[in-house]
Amino acid sequence: MKPSDYDFLQKFLHSRSGLVLSSEKQYLVESRLIPVARRAGLGGLDELVAKIRMAGSMELKDDVVEAMTTNETFFFRDKTPFMHFEQEMLPTMLKNRASKRRIRIWSAAASTGQEPYCIAIKLQEARAKTAGFRFEILGTDISKEVLEKARTGIYSQFEVQRGLPIQMLLRYFTQLQEIWQIAPEIRAMVQWKQLNLLENFVNLGEFDIVFCRNVLIYFDQATKIEILNRIAKQMPDDGYLVLGAAETVVGLVDSFEPVPNLRGLYRPKRATQVSVPASSLTGFTPRIRAIG
């Protein structure tokens, strides 16, 4: 790939998705975008870059962004956040929302759906404690393709074997020859929406718990700060933010502070007020599901 083409792709992907590509990532760009070029009937990456440099070609531009922002995920990834959800976040929220009896949860980089479905499974497992409460789980991702897969709740044998305990597989999935589909009652607990975190998401409303794991690592510092501050504006004072193991708010923003002794878990801090950009996002009408 010509240096000028790679430089263009770096700037294009950063402006469209916030993705930061170092000079050492050219191999990754080539491996992911050569198939995109072939599907579009183009001779190679030079033709692909020439095409997306042109005005229009929106579908091809979207395909390039999707190919570069689709990241790996699996059931109960890292385990610790789900332990914190079960032992810290959920009990606290059940107590704090005893009068309202409504809890909203956002999986902000849902990919193919494993994370929000794991949250739904944990709620289903705790239904004796959550009876009478209403839960809403929203899964968002920049990629339309991965969200379409998430909506189906269909996974390969390889995918369900990664992180999913066998008892949960048998309890909450149905085998369809070589694939598995998650139970309708679990699928019904999650709502999906395509969303670019670079856009304003104020119209999504307030969330008690936000999972935003393993996505900030792909952004530069200024973008991380902006996104974290906007997430803080979408949360109550007693809410929880969950980040990935390699991510932190420390040294970035004053809008969150770590929860002591619970790695990757943060709470809003209101000492410093942050601003929200004035751009708008298509409205979101929540769907609430009662558990129990």
Catalytic-role residue among 32, 97, 162, 267: 32
- The 10 Å CB-count burial string (b at 16+, else e) for 163-182 is bbeeebbeebbeeeeeebbb
The active-site residue, picked from 63, 104, 141, 213, is: 141
Active site residue 32: yes
In sequence order, what are the beta bridge partners of 107?
Answer: 139, 211
d(CA 190, CA 289): 9
Collapsed DSSP state (helix, strand, coil) of residue 179: strand
Length of the chain: 292
For residue 181, give the 3-state DSSP assignment: strand
- Enumerate the H helices of 162-290 as residue ranges: 166-172, 184-187, 221-232
The answer to whether 110 and 150 are in contact (CB under 8 A) is yes
Name the residue among 261, 264, 210, 216 with its Cα closest to residue 238.
Answer: 210
Q: Where are the alpha helices (DSSP H) in the chain?
A: 3-17, 26-39, 45-53, 58-69, 80-84, 90-96, 114-125, 127-130, 144-152, 157-161, 166-172, 184-187, 221-232
DSSP β-bridge partners for residue 223:
none
| Per-residue DSSP letter, 62 | H
Say whether 267 is catalytic: no
Q: Catalytic positions, please?
A: 32, 141
